[in-house]
Chain A
């Protein structure tokens, strides 16, 4: 209840702080408009036409099923990556040996381009949900893993001593010591992973499936329909912005209130 009250109380200030972000987004749209005027509608349709097409897509109901499909795949892959990556990263951080062993793996996984995973996934999973979900999972896993690993490894030695001196049981060490500290590292990693999950899901769909936003993009591309392509792209980006600033950012602020306190 108190949490809800605090969130509501913080809302106006949070929304107000959004003006800066809105202004910079509008500046971007203005530059886009400038580009459109320069190159012509065939190369780069102007924002108004794009948003009109987007409006039609949404109004006709054509956008929702595709968006839902992509969202399902991206979020499923992300969820798997967050679960597995956070768990393994925390465990690896607790042991020096595991941490040292894991580093080259992470470098390997990070260095492997998602498109290469996609090729493998297409061979393994075919044209169903499996391919995009797996590709998203593999692309996001190392980012989350390394965040969790660093979070545990950087824990203040002094605080560990304190935890021992005060005989904190393992459950308290985890919930009151490791998790709050690790969250400061994990959250940015999750948000980065969220961004790449959408991108990778759309890419995977473009090449591997017959539904979802990526597949719709493939269709508009084959029709040389620039307006519709940009409309789909705006839709994906819009959803991402909404998720990040509507859900994740407020959670992050709430979790890290202690950090702002002294600043």
Chain B
């Protein structure tokens, strides 16, 4: 994997009719990194992801997306209900024109790598639990060996245990393949656990209000570090404002303040975002 490959979004604006949903978005995502977009519902995260995936037409600004191939994991599993698990996983491979035997072998290997039971491979999506369906959707994306994986709240419907399990699987796969990951989530803990950089978005219009770099490398991040990081993230005034949380009582803030050596770092929010903030009051 060429590490100079870079997904670059500059001064991106997008509107649905008169409603501006994205204003002055700048993103840099190099190969092998994971970028998490967090923000309240309706702040344009999904629009941004769909623009990067090429599912929406760009209106203003630039997107340089040199990664190929890409894979998308949607909010719902979006499996084809009339195909069994194995064929669902192999869907993207079939689209590439891979022969039936080869694509099934790859799909099976990926399914087993994601701990899907052998028995489930012949079952239809309706027979699988929600967690298994998510896993199938993840396998369908990963089996393509994407250089860029785009994920839209992929684990939102899962319980903490399953979520944790899939996080580990995802990080291991990423470490092995060196793919770039752009993920959307509501969940600050999930963002801090997985990402090399967390972008916090505020709504109306969607813009980036904070950039946070969690401590350490994602795979090595301990639970304690993750919780500390997400607490740190949640205490940031811009994050509290974006999520419409009440401002912190000063004493509490100062009690949590002491920055331990392991804490993450804040990055400057770039120029075009500030301009957007000003122009939108």
Q: Interface on A for B, CB 8 Å cutoff?
A: 158-159, 161-162, 164-169, 172, 176-177, 180-181, 257-259, 261-263
A176 touches B80 (CB 8 A): yes
B94 close to A (CB within 8 Å): yes
| Size bracket of the B interface | 20 to 34
B55 touches A261 (CB 8 A): no
A262 touches B80 (CB 8 A): no
Which B residues lie within 8 Å of A164 (CB)? 55
Which B residues lie within 8 Å of A257 (CB)? 124
Which B residues lie within 8 Å of A166 (CB)? 71-72, 91-92, 95, 140, 144
List 18 contacting pairs A-B, 8 Å CB cutoff, sorted by A.
A159-B80, A162-B78, A165-B53, A165-B71, A165-B74, A166-B71, A166-B95, A167-B96, A176-B83, A176-B94, A180-B82, A258-B83, A259-B81, A261-B123, A261-B124, A261-B126, A262-B124, A262-B126
Closest to A255 in B: B82
A158 touches B74 (CB 8 A): yes
If A165-B53, A167-B95, A172-B95 touch, does A258 touch B74 (CB 8 Å cutoff)? no
Closest to B127 in A: A261
Closest to A169 in B: B95
**Chain B's nearest CB lies how many Å from the CB of A201?**
34
A159, A165, A168: which contacts B72 (Cβ < 8 A)? Answer: A165
B92 touches A167 (CB 8 A): yes
B78 touches A158 (CB 8 A): yes
Closest to B70 in A: A165
Closest to B91 in A: A166
**Chain B's nearest CB lies how many Å from the CB of A166?**
5
Which A residues lie within 8 Å of B123 (CB)? 261
Give the CA-CA distance A236 to B78 in the complex, in Å: 45
Which B residues lie within 8 Å of A261 (CB)? 123-124, 126-127
**Chain A's nearest CB lies how many Å from the CB of B145?**
14
B81 touches A176 (CB 8 A): no
**Chain B's nearest CB lies how many Å from the CB of A143?**
24
Closest to A159 in B: B78
B95 touches A177 (CB 8 A): no
**Chain A's nearest CB lies how many Å from the CB of B52?**
11
Given contacts A165-B72, A167-B95, 4 further A-B contacts (CB under 8 A): A168-B95, A169-B95, A257-B124, A261-B123
> Contact mask B34-76 → A, CB, 8 Å, 1/0?
0000000000000000000101000000000000000110101
> Contact mask B181-193 → A, CB, 8 Å, 1/0?
0000000000000
Q: Interface on B for A, CB 8 Å cutoff?
A: 53, 55, 71-72, 74, 76, 78, 80-83, 91-92, 94-96, 123-127, 140, 144
A162 touches B127 (CB 8 A): no
Which A residues lie within 8 Å of B140 (CB)? 166
**Chain B's nearest CB lies how many Å from the CB of A165?**
4
Residue from B76, B94, B144 with most neighbouring chain A CB atoms (10 Å): B94
Residue from A162, A166, A258, A261 with most neighbouring chain B CB atoms (10 Å): A166
Which A residues lie within 8 Å of B71 (CB)? 165-166
B55, B82, B96: which contacts A165 (Cβ < 8 A)? Answer: B55
Give the CA-CA distance A262 to B128 in the complex, in Å: 8
Which A residues lie within 8 Å of B124 (CB)? 257-258, 261-262
Which A residues lie within 8 Å of B92 (CB)? 166-167
Which B residues lie within 8 Å of A181 (CB)? 82
B91 touches A168 (CB 8 A): yes
**Chain A's nearest CB lies how many Å from the CB of B47?**
13
**Chain A's nearest CB lies how many Å from the CB of B89?**
11
Which A residues lie within 8 Å of B125 (CB)? 258, 262
Which A residues lie within 8 Å of B74 (CB)? 158, 161-162, 165
Which A residues lie within 8 Å of B76 (CB)? 158
Give the CA-CA distance A165 to B80 in the complex, in Å: 14
Give the CA-CA distance A261 to B124 in the complex, in Å: 7
Closest to A172 in B: B95
**Chain B's nearest CB lies how many Å from the CB of A105?**
31
Which A residues lie within 8 Å of B72 (CB)? 162, 165-166
Give the CA-CA distance A164 to B53 in the complex, in Å: 10
Give the CA-CA distance A261 to B144 in the complex, in Å: 28
Closest to A164 in B: B55
Closest to B75 in A: A158
Which B residues lie within 8 Å of A176 (CB)? 80, 83, 91, 94
Closest to A161 in B: B55
Which B residues lie within 8 Å of A162 (CB)? 72, 74, 78
**Chain B's nearest CB lies how many Å from the CB of A26?**
36
Give the CA-CA distance A167 to B80 in the complex, in Å: 15
Give the CA-CA distance A161 to B78 in the complex, in Å: 9
**Chain B's nearest CB lies how many Å from the CB of A104?**
30
Residue from B78, B82, B95, B124 with most neighbouring chain A CB atoms (10 Å): B82
